[in-house]
Amino acid sequence: MLDEAQGALFDQERRHRQRDHYPEAEALHCMEGLRALAPLITDLLQVAVVIRDPNDDMVIATAQRAQAAYIVTRDKDLLSLQYYEGIMMITPEAFIAVVRERGRLNP
């Protein structure tokens, strides 16, 4: 998933890259932080949840294994689930609003 995040951050053709206009150095700094802070999640459960894009099942399985409360994404297939076994699918903007309102990350 870190490789996918890196690909998305550095891909000049992605819509969010064109929209957000962030410098390469900022993307590199973000990836360095993710690699340093993100725990490695292994031994994923096999799930079959995202019908239109089965590759997204890995995201769900990783979130389950990590006991995540949120999956922050712009992926329409994941967002269409809204919730899955206590995990909320939420856009980055909505997540920022939740954190600002509650002052914490727990739902």
**Helix, strand, or coil (residue 31):** helix
Domain count of the fold of the chain: 2
The reported pTM is 0.71
Same domain, 69 and 24: no
CA distances, 11 to each of 16, 18, 25, 32, 33 (Å): 9, 9, 14, 17, 19
> Containing domain of residue 5, as a range?
1-38
Same domain, 31 and 55: no
Same domain, 20 and 71: no
Same domain, 59 and 104: yes
pLDDT at 3: 76
Which tens digits make up the pLDDT trace of 11-68? Answer: 766 656 556 777 778 888 888 887 888 777 778 888 888 888 888 898 999 999 999 9
